[in-house]
Amino acid sequence: MIAKRPGGLRRAILSERERPMPARTSWIPYALIAPSVAFLGALFIIPLVQTVWLSFSAGEGVSLANYQRMANDLNFGLAIRNTFLLTLVVVPLQVILALVMATMVSKLDKGRDMVLWVLTIPLGVSDLAAGLAWLSILQNTGYLNSALYALGVIPGPVGWLSQETPWTLFFGIVLAEMWRATAIVLVILIAGLQLIPKEFSEAAEIFGASPWTRFRKITLPLLKPSLQSALILRTVLAFEVFAVVYALGGRNFPVLAGEAYTWQNENQNYGVAAAYAVLIMAISLAATAVYLRALRTRPEQLP
Amino acid sequence: MADIVIDHVVKDFGTFQALQDVSLVVEDGEFVALLGPSGCGKTTLLRIIAGLETQTAGRVVIGGRDVSGLTPRKRGLAMVFQNYAVFPHMTVFENVAFGLRMQKASTADVKRKVERAAALLHIDSYLDRYPAKLSGGQRQRVAVARALAVEPAVLLMDEPLSNLDALLRLEMRTELKAVLREAGTTTIYVTHDQTEAMGLADRIAVMYGGKIEQIGSPLEIYATPATRFVGGFIGSPPMNFIKVRCEQGIVRIGNITLPCPAGCEDMELGLRGEDAMIAADGSGIPFDVRVVEPMGSHLLLTGSINGQLARIVAPPTATINAGERVALKADPSRLTWIDSNTGRAVGRA
């Protein structure tokens, strides 16, 4: 009916809503995301491509020479072992600790924000500063030794962070990392806990579930998406660990990011440093892929 | 099976008193509805019975056992929540089985009881699905099946039908009544919907402002409200209240007189719209019709008696026009007399 009417009339009866959008608006979305794209391109994608390129170019043409040199280095095996050991110890401990803390904080009625604020203070401290703070505690003339000496436990300064005491050095680094970075897991988990309606836990309680069973059967499964985010974030950052280790152990405890730093600045060999960087990225991507698969929440199981 | 005694329960939230000295006895196997507007304390009372909330004073006794200080899981009851609270990460089977698993029932027992509860609620074909794949009505059935699977002595229901659409609500209501009658479970059912309470309950406790206004069978509460609030809350249209003066046991209204109970002068005459009949001879309570709404099953007349708003239900075939004045008759035994000062019914044994 409408199509048979004269064009002028047809235009006239088209309502405001039906009229096609003016063509000039089509570039607006692209203009709006352009700054982000430019920013990411300049500061992330170009350096990434350059680093990958750098790691494969040694002397003439494309080669694996940098990777060979990296793998043949004395510290390479140690750095791999230490980085994985640190990640495997620190990340699970942080998640468990954060779960306990998140459960406690979410049970608080009063002063909840205050407690959360205090617990997240370490997040505001740079990792190098955190490492130096722990160095002042753990070094030979540090606070720990002073306290132990005053208590009569030790006769004089004890070296905790030296090459001869790798386990106390490792333990010190774990402690510092726990102090510094557990709060980020805590924040993610608290946000996740708040998303779970309290009726689920109440229903479970009515039907006879003990607090531990409620945590295991209700809270933990429903917290899985948040746990996944926290684990990915923390694991990726743990593979990049550097400043705290550098402050406490120097090269006594080689890690991957530390080796990249050494090759870049002391050895002035940018190719091998780039190879380390690419290796860290590959490990991080692999870990992320593992988490995405292992902790996947099927869409039909979402609340 | 168990009876429930709520003994002088008080609940304060800071300075706000949600429950003011509430007492209620629910017999073994009885279905009692807690009915009232939002904020009247009905859900708080239910949560105190469940143990999800702790009373400020008073006791809750279930089956002769004082459960006032016990955690919910030690009280041996089941509950259906307003928003179902069906666990999203478990299949329908595991949801229904949850209570039985907590009781460490044997695998064969779990299977048998889950299948029976599922058959009762017609969800047996969805047992291996996840709740996200179910409609609201089906999730509600899962929540009820989960509660019935443990064969509870006491079943608490918190507005279980309020999230369903009207047609589904009617269907579930009928089914719920049949299922619960068969199970013989002592049930407390919280609702703000009077038709649900009237249709389902053996007795209704009407709550308002943290107090129980009246407890009685649906018909008692409908026909003989104890307070002005109950009369105005129950029934559609609600009871009409017309301010009158009672002199020497007699009220004059239009050209007729009605006997009224002694005791006070300022009274309100409570008249149900359905109890009023249009007098053919023109003598009766004068009613000025302003709006006539044909509802199919009846005519809803809105107008005024002595200048006060009233709604009257007339037969669908009656010929009444807006602007007319008609005379109303009513059976004196169906009238309610309210003391204007206290808001309570007077002259009732």
pLDDT (tens, 9 = 90+) of chain B, 349 residues, equals: 589 999 999 999 989 999 999 999 999 999 999 999 998 999 999 999 999 999 999 999 999 999 999 999 999 899 999 888 999 999 999 999 999 999 999 999 999 999 999 998 889 999 999 999 898 889 999 999 999 999 998 999 999 888 888 888 888 888 888 888 888 889 999 999 999 999 999 999 999 999 999 999 999 999 999 999 999 999 889 999 999 988 888 888 877 888 888 777 889 999 999 999 888 887 888 999 999 999 999 999 999 998 899 999 999 988 888 999 999 988 888 899 999 888 899 876 4
Q: Is residue B280 part of a domain?
A: yes
Q: What is the pLDDT of residue B348?
A: 67
The residues with which B59 forms a beta bridge, in sequence order, are B7
The distance of Cα B230 from the centroid of its chain, to the nearest Å, equals 11
Residue B323 is assigned to a structural domain of this protein: yes
Asked if residue B346 belongs to a domain, the reply is: no
Same domain, yes or no: B212 and B248: no
Looking at the structure, do residues B223 and B252 belong to the same domain, yes or no? Answer: no
Domain that holds residue B245: 236-339
Beta-carbon separation of B102 and A209 below 8 A:
yes
Please report whether residue B185 resides in a domain: yes
- Which residue from A minimizes the CA distance to B152? A207
For residues B345 and A155, give the distance between their C-alpha atoms in angstroms, rounded to a whole number.
Answer: 90
CB atoms within 10 A of CB A14: 11
Give the chain B residue whose CA is nearest to the CA of A299. Answer: B132
Question: Left (φ > 0), alpha (ψ -120 to 50) or beta: where does B314 sit?
Answer: beta
Nearest CA in chain B to A300: B132
Q: What is the pLDDT of residues A124-137, one digit of tens each?
A: 999 899 999 999 99
Q: Could you tell me which chain A residue has the CA closest to the CA of B73?
A: A208
B164 and B256 both lie in a single domain: no
B332, B249: one domain? yes
Q: How many domains, chain B?
A: 2
Domain end: B228, B248, B271, which one? B228
Taking a C-beta distance cutoff of 8 angstroms, is the pair A93, A174 a contact? yes
Largest CA distance in chain A: 105
**Does B165 map to a domain?**
yes
Residue A44 is classified by DSSP as I
- Both B103 and B160 in a single domain? yes
Judge: B79–A203 Cβ closer than 8 Å, yes or no: yes
B250 and B207 belong to one structural domain? no
Nearest C-alpha of chain B: how many angstroms from A188?
A: 20
- Domain identity same for B158 and B106: yes
Whether residue B169 sits in one domain with residue B83: yes
Backbone angles phi, psi at A87, to 5 degrees: -65, -45
How far is Cα B265 from Cα B245, in angstroms, rounded to an integer? 6
What letter would DSSP give residue B152? -
Rounded CA gap, A298 and A193, in Å?
19
Residue B349 covered by a domain: no
pLDDT of residue A220: 93
Does residue B344 lie in a domain region?
Answer: no
One domain for residues B110 and B12 = yes
| Last residue within a domain, chosen from B170, B199, B228 | B228
Would you list the DSSP string of B289-322? Answer: EEEEEE-SSSEEEEEEETTEEEEEEE-TT----T
Residue B205 phi, psi (nearest 5): -105, 110
**What's the pLDDT at B173?**
87
The verdict on B9 and B51 lying in the same domain is yes
Shortest CA gap B296–chain A (Å):
39
Last residue of a domain, which of B212, B228, B244? B228
The Cα A44–Cα B17 span in angstroms is 60
Q: How far apart are CA B298 and CA A88, in angstroms?
A: 76
Phi (first) and psi of residue A94, to 5 degrees: -65, -40
| CB-closest option in A199, A208, A302 to B132 | A302
CB contacts, 8 Å: A222 with chain B: 88-89
To the nearest whole Å, the CA of B68 is away from the closest chain A CA by 15
Q: Are residues B186 and B329 in the same domain?
A: no
Instruction: Output the pLDDT for position A133.
Output: 92
Domains belonging to chain A, first-starting first, are 78-301 (1.10.3720.10)
- B117: domain CATH number is 3.40.50.300
Give residue B203's pLDDT. 96
Distance CA B311, CA B240 (A): 7
Q: Same domain for B53 and B101?
A: yes
pLDDT digit string, tens, across residues A182-204: 999 999 999 999 999 999 999 99
State the CATH number of the domain containing residue B317: 2.40.50.140
B296: which 2 tokens? 């199919």
pLDDT < 70: residue spans in chain A: 1-24, 303
